Structure 1
């Protein structure tokens, strides 16, 4: 009986060894084959277009936080002469989660991405994928804005209010800072009446139409004072570092850098707000040869 038991134990151990070896081989094959795969973005919210270079298979991939911005960027890039010469296809992905930014930025999937310098530094994307800044937005302040009274930073004040926020979690003025303020007031987000929208313009439209009582955003003296009162804003954050457009430049493609700088600058200034009058242009494109000028 003991002899049979020993034989059975040896058989089980031998079988386990065979199975383990087989699984290890399968895993190694999966790792080897995955090295030949093309990285694919984590989400499918995108718009795309073909340039006039239809036989060119090169794809220019862009990552932006909102649907609103994606719809602005796509036609501007597809109609740009430099993009048309170098690429046959443009894909613009949109979505505001940090996980998506890490995927596109950290793995070098995006050729062009709108993000924060802190995320670039954390991922070391400048060193690993040679991302370089193209256009930088100025620092700004964030506010709760109402059109009927000055918002109060008190717990009871927000309990019966309809609040407008941005639906992408990486926005400091429209998402991070207001939620931080709610937390500091010991407010449960789940118990608040929050309406999420895709852009700062949409927030203002809802506030002007009395669809929400309060929004969280930046304040634009030039434009907002025509709709709302400066007396009815309450600061929730100051000196917030602005976002930047980053371009992946594996080669000294200065034509592309200047073309992208021109497109992103035009899109920013089309908003007609004073905030975008002080954009930082990182490339000196009004002289030949073009030159990266870096920080001021």
Structure 2
């Protein structure tokens, strides 16, 4: 009998505890208002403009890394007569994130994209979606750039330096080539002082503000105003330039020619001596 009374008492206590917990939970819900948790997607950086074909719901999607170029190009494409015959709006997206590049190019979302040839080959964009080169920037050297001395390529010299690289694994001059050089010198990346930037202009800001000692990038004429050509060291003489690819699932020659001519015109309006050197490949015979 004592064992039976003990078992009943234990069961009763458990039931009472469960009931009390339920009552406390219900009271808490009444006292604290429900809040809807917002799982909104990350805001996308883009610019849209309308062509003259307001009733056309088709959109020409452009993918590029630079915001200023994206906006200028979109406006020029929206004003183009040929583009207006085929699209109701132009949507220019800018992003350096490699995942976004793979999303837009690797899945064929972008109609027009500025990417590196090696990345286009990696995602097999030409064979899968019919991407075709419209225009290309020239090859260029990659440099280590400093403020007050010419950088040296040695393990002892680089180990103690604060170095700026691009947080963009597909960038050859700002990421791939310097990383390969560090590894060839048997430098452990975990032991190095590396700061990552989102763009080449941000790399220059890190350097001129003294937050890093060296950056890896290309050299442009405008650098003469803030940096010295005596304080650059080449680490790769020929880096392939980015290329503009147009998705040509059909033989849309009118669109190809219109976009090529627009790209060349926008390039000529660029302040950069490098980015103004855009070459048509092949030049459209309008």
The alpha carbon displacement at 1:206 in A equals: 3.6
Alpha-carbon distance between aligned partners in 1 of 2:112 and 2:270, rounded to the nearest angstrom: 20
The alpha carbon displacement at 1:281 in A equals: 0.6
- 2:274 is aligned to 275
Which region of structure 1 is more displaced relative to structure 2, 164-173 or 195-204? 195-204
- 1:165 is aligned to 165
Alpha-carbon distance between aligned partners in 2 of 1:266 and 1:189, rounded to the nearest angstrom: 42
**Secondary structure of the structure 2 residue equivalent to 1:275:** coil
Q: Which has the larger radius of gyration?
A: 2
1:120-159 deviation digits (Å, cap 9, x = unpaired):
3344422332211111111111000012001122234334
Alpha-carbon distance between aligned partners in 2 of 1:192 and 1:69, rounded to the nearest angstrom: 34
- 2:17 is aligned to none
What's the C-alpha RMSD, in Å, of the aligned pairs? 2.8
TM norm structure 2: 0.73
Alpha-carbon distance between aligned partners in 2 of 1:193 and 1:284, rounded to the nearest angstrom: 45
TM norm structure 1: 0.71
Which region of structure 1 is more displaced relative to structure 2, 251-260 or 231-240? 251-260
**Superposition pairs of residues 128-139 of structure 1, within 5 angstroms:** 128-139=128-139
Alpha-carbon distance between aligned partners in 2 of 1:178 and 1:267, rounded to the nearest angstrom: 31
The alpha carbon displacement at 1:60 in A equals: 1.2
**Secondary structure of the structure 2 residue equivalent to 1:225:** helix
Structure 2, unaligned runs of 5 or more: 1-40
Alpha-carbon distance between aligned partners in 2 of 1:196 and 1:72, rounded to the nearest angstrom: 27
Q: 1:64 to 1:278 in 2, by over 3 A?
A: closer
**Superposition pairs of residues 149-160 of structure 1, within 5 angstroms:** 149-160=149-160
Q: 1:121 to 1:218 in 2, by over 3 A?
A: same
**Secondary structure of the structure 2 residue equivalent to 1:150:** coil
Q: Number of paired residues?
A: 245
- 2:35 is aligned to none
Structure 1, unaligned runs of 5 or more: 1-41, 291-296
- 1:84 is aligned to 84
Which region of structure 1 is more displaced relative to structure 2, 124-133 or 138-147? 124-133
